[in-house]
Amino acid sequence: MLKALCYCCLSIISFTQVVSAKENSNSIVVKPFKAEYTILHKSSSVGTGVRELKKLDTGLIEYSYHTDIEWLIFSDNRKEISTVSLENNQVIPTHYHYFREGTGRDKEYEWRYETKNNKAFDVKKKREKSVDFPVNIQDKLSYHLQNRINLIKNPEQKHFVYPVISTSGKIKNYVYQYDGEEDIMLPYGLVKTIKLKREVVEKNRVTYAWFAPELDYLLVKLYQAKSGVEQFEAQLNKLTVTE
């Protein structure tokens, strides 16, 4: 069941010192950080997740997520890296790299994007693809950063739609809905949260994500089920912020 882990669902991590508004500006400032998660299956710890954000010398942002899971005879090690620019609170993907190894078939995908020119380049297959990019296009990881910025900008927003380009070059809308408020206890502590829900009807899969408004809409918990059966749960346990 963990094989179907919704790996890329965890969103950008921060708290009051990580994201803030510049004085006399509506721009969101994101500081580098490292966030650590415990991954659970049926309440038992089966692995860890680490998410990092780095600012590159080029002025771009490198946003990555790595998971390491061991469960019975099953192992799964994944890393996903998105390089983006940030303009007027709009996340613009420029490069995406994903690789996975462990039980089963290893996978690797790498794409470069020129969104203004409607071009995508498949690095592994050495081929260029013409894509009619919408203005708010995201890759399979960068949309989490955009989602968090949107929550900070408009806390009353209840409906979120993100056009996401897949590893095959196709675009599909990812839709999230507001699903209430909860106080939850985590390894990180007790936090008040709002909950978002994403349901993929054709795959009979539902994902819930909890964000803490008092921590600038930090993602603090994630839960996914398929056909009514739990696949995994992730809980924040540690956060480190750097300059």
- The pLDDT tens digits for 39-67 are 999 899 999 999 889 999 999 999 999 99
Residue 189 vs residue 213, higher pLDDT: 189
Q: pLDDT per residue over 199-228, tens digit each?
A: 999 999 999 999 988 877 878 899 999 998
Q: Is the pLDDT of residue 184 over 90?
A: yes
Q: Would you state the torsion angle of the CA atoms of residues 181, 186, 190, 191, taken in this order, to the nearest 10 degrees?
A: -40
The confidence band for 4, taking pLDDT boundaries of 50, 70 and 90, is very low
CA angle 118, 110, 82 (to 5 degrees): 80
Pairwise CA distance, residues 98 & 82, whole Å? 9
pLDDT of residue 75: 95
User: pTM for this structure?
Assistant: 0.86
Q: Are 77 and 102 within 8 A, CB to CB?
A: yes
pLDDT of residue 230: 86
**pLDDT at position 229 over 90:** no
Mean local confidence (pLDDT), 19-34: 64
Which residues face 161 on adjacent strands? 175
pLDDT tens digits along 56-113? 999 999 999 999 999 889 999 999 999 999 999 999 999 999 999 999 999 999 999 9
Reference 69, options 55, 79, 57; nearest CA is 79
Q: How many residues does the chain have?
A: 243
Q: Say if CB 79 and CB 89 are below 8 A apart.
A: no
Mean pLDDT of the chain: 87
